[in-house]
Chains A and B, each alone.
Chain A
């Protein structure tokens, strides 16, 4: 296990105490690391019914076994927690440099429990750690927090994972930010804010050495050659995540709160338009791809605004929901959300929810403080973002996410809350890609595209088999394949995009992780797939224990009853019952309840979860 530190720090903020865990051998072999460890730790430590904002809730920050090594694209850190937005299991990730830096500082992960009396930040350096006063940082935005902590520690290379005002004010979709990268979804920032933990700063110099240097170097060489030979990887390096032209041509770019699939004048926000505004490229630790882009607005209302990004999801979040293609707003709103510390997807979707309520007369200017939210008019978006972050005005309602906001508003507003398990949908209309939508429905964290992205449907990838995006046949099997592959590769916390290019399959990952850790069984691809399935089922059992089941594997009614009205996906609905039934069968779960059967849990070595 050479590339692990075999040290996880436990911090109890209530009494400012520290302890350390080493890895349990069985956990290592059964779950490999990363997402596997996160799922197991959360399942073991968080009793059902635990208040996500209470003293006993845990925030688990983890790196993977390849973080800090020369393996490409494994810099991400992941945060595991019970979500205040969904009430269930949650995982969220950010790239950048924080994960490797924690490894260099001597730790694989940090588990935070308890609640501090006053704001603090955790400083981890060269194997040591301490809590420091963050009173003067409370209220600062994420960029300023980074700057002042680096000043205080006299080291510009300190890496931070911090919250902004949104986390402090209890926005249910507040994220955790490291440099300008976001572990945005699900409300980890709100949990951190409840604990009065402003940041975790780390710095270290201890290199991470693989167990089998020769085999590891050969695997990395193979990985780099694969990147260079892969046209999708080469293109991704140039353009980053922008695909608005793509999803509009597919007719699945969610517009007007998921009522249309094509945005008027979408050509104004296609990839080339962002490339023209690019100031420089950005990248993560040990990744040759450098897909990040620093962009700047030069003309119009938002002249002078800049951001690292926006990524595709953010581009959508501030265009489709308002039905206006305004590239300047996407950049300005991206930066504002990063500064205030909020997930752009849930922010944009919550504002889009308000637009439809306003159109239908469910809310009026009296509710919004005088703002008229009309399609094609995005003038109030920046103000709404600020109100959400500080829970002021109508922003206080939207800060709870669409599901809870709908409950507060009443008057049938729940019909227009576009979420699954409380998590707002990302930038794809599920009627235009059925396996992609089926993953939205069945992902363990709610409506998350990254838990099992259907590249087969969106990009036409023919692996493991080619599919028509509108067909429903074999979509249960395909969704299981995508989800289990993702869970397997996330034991190393790989960047989500690498498997999408087809540049990291099970066998190469096996070579990397087995040579890095020195555990030969990790090279066995059948073993890896079993671990992926085991992780996904254990996450499911966390949610089952919390009362989740078939009723929660559901999209809003709109998708099964309202056909898309125009564009290339015109006439399509989401055939939810048939798709979910097919999926449960493929998973070996109870067809009525959606709970993994005893036989399935035994097969996966999860007998401890039976009947819980």
Chain B
């Protein structure tokens, strides 16, 4: 299945792109996506992409913490946004 990944701030710097389309096996979870990104882009930066305590991650606009955390299931054509922990307004 194809997952659209939107990246902001430090995660964008690490990956070197603001948007990526990632292929994952059917039945994958958010953790699988973060693992894949960390393996591919995280070497040398202490796997920052796996440190979800410093990140805000949303799946289709829902905070991952409210829909199962890193165990949240992913589906084809989901959009996952990964951004630094922020506030504002």
**What is the interface of chain A, defined by CB distance below 8 A to chain B?**
231-232, 235-236, 238-243, 245-246, 249-251, 267, 270-272, 312-313, 426-428, 449-450, 453, 455, 458-460, 462, 466-469, 497, 500-501, 567-569
Contact = CB atoms under 8 A, between A and B. Distances in A.
Contacts of A246: 56, 83, 86, 88
Contacts of B58: 249-250, 460
A497 B87 contact: yes
Nearest to A567: B61
A198 B65 CA distance: 50
A569 B61 contact: yes
A184 to B, nearest CB: 14
B26 interface: no
Nearest to B19: A267
Given A231-B53, A231-B54, A312 B89 contact: yes
Contacts of B8: 245, 270-272
Contacts of B81: 249
Most chain A Cβ neighbours within 10 Å, of B6, B53, B58, B66: B66
Nearest to B89: A312
Contacts of B53: 231
A242 B61 contact: no
Given A235-B86, A272-B9, 8 more contacts: A251-B61, A428-B89, A459-B85, A459-B87, A460-B63, A460-B66, A462-B65, A468-B66
A232 B86 contact: yes
B77 interface: no
Q: Which 8 A-B pairs have the closest CB atoms?
A: A568-B61, A460-B63, A243-B88, A231-B54, A500-B87, A241-B88, A232-B85, A235-B84
17 contacts: A231-B53, A231-B84, A232-B86, A235-B84, A241-B88, A243-B87, A245-B83, A246-B83, A246-B88, A249-B6, A272-B12, A453-B89, A455-B87, A459-B87, A460-B56, A466-B66, A569-B61
B39 interface: no
B18 A501 contact: no
Interface string B40-66: 000000000000011010101111111
A568 B59 CA distance: 9
Nearest to A449: B89
Nearest to A568: B61
Contacts of B85: 231-232, 235, 459
A255 to B, nearest CB: 15
A22 B6 CA distance: 56
A243 B60 CA distance: 17
Contacts of A239: 9, 84, 86, 88
A500 B63 CA distance: 16
A459 B54 CA distance: 12
Interface string B17-45: 01000000000000000000000000000
B63 A236 contact: no
Nearest to B64: A460
B61 A427 contact: no
A312 B64 CA distance: 24
Contacts of B79: 249
A243 B9 contact: no
Nearest to A426: B89
Contacts of A251: 61
A468 B64 CA distance: 10
A413 to B, nearest CB: 28
B40 to A, nearest CB: 22
A32 to B, nearest CB: 25
Contacts of B63: 459-460, 469
B60 A568 contact: yes
Given A270-B8, A460-B56, A236 B86 contact: yes
A455 B67 CA distance: 17
A239 B6 CA distance: 18
A240 B88 contact: yes
Contacts of B12: 272
Nearest to B58: A249
A243 B89 CA distance: 7
Contacts of A231: 53-54, 84-85
B68 to A, nearest CB: 12
Contacts of B64: 460
A267 B8 CA distance: 11
Contacts of B18: 267
Nearest to B88: A243
Contacts of A235: 9, 84-86
Contacts of A568: 60-62
A251 B60 CA distance: 9
Most chain A Cβ neighbours within 10 Å, of B53, B63, B64, B79: B63
A271 B10 CA distance: 12
Nearest to A428: B89
A531 B22 CA distance: 52
Contacts of A270: 8
A245 B58 CA distance: 12
Contact of B66 (A250, A450, A455, A467): A467
A245 B7 CA distance: 10
Nearest to B61: A568
Nearest to B81: A249
B56 A459 contact: yes
A313 B89 CA distance: 6
A209 to B, nearest CB: 32
B66 A243 contact: no
Nearest to B10: A235
Contacts of B61: 249-251, 567-569
A496 to B, nearest CB: 8
B88 A236 contact: yes
B65 A466 contact: yes
Nearest to A262: B61
Contacts of A569: 61
A319 to B, nearest CB: 15
A120 to B, nearest CB: 36
Contact of B88 (A250, A272, A312, A450): A312
Contacts of B54: 231
A459 B86 contact: yes
B8 to A, nearest CB: 6
A567 B79 CA distance: 11
Contacts of B67: 468
Contacts of B88: 236, 239-243, 246, 312, 497
A497 B88 CA distance: 7
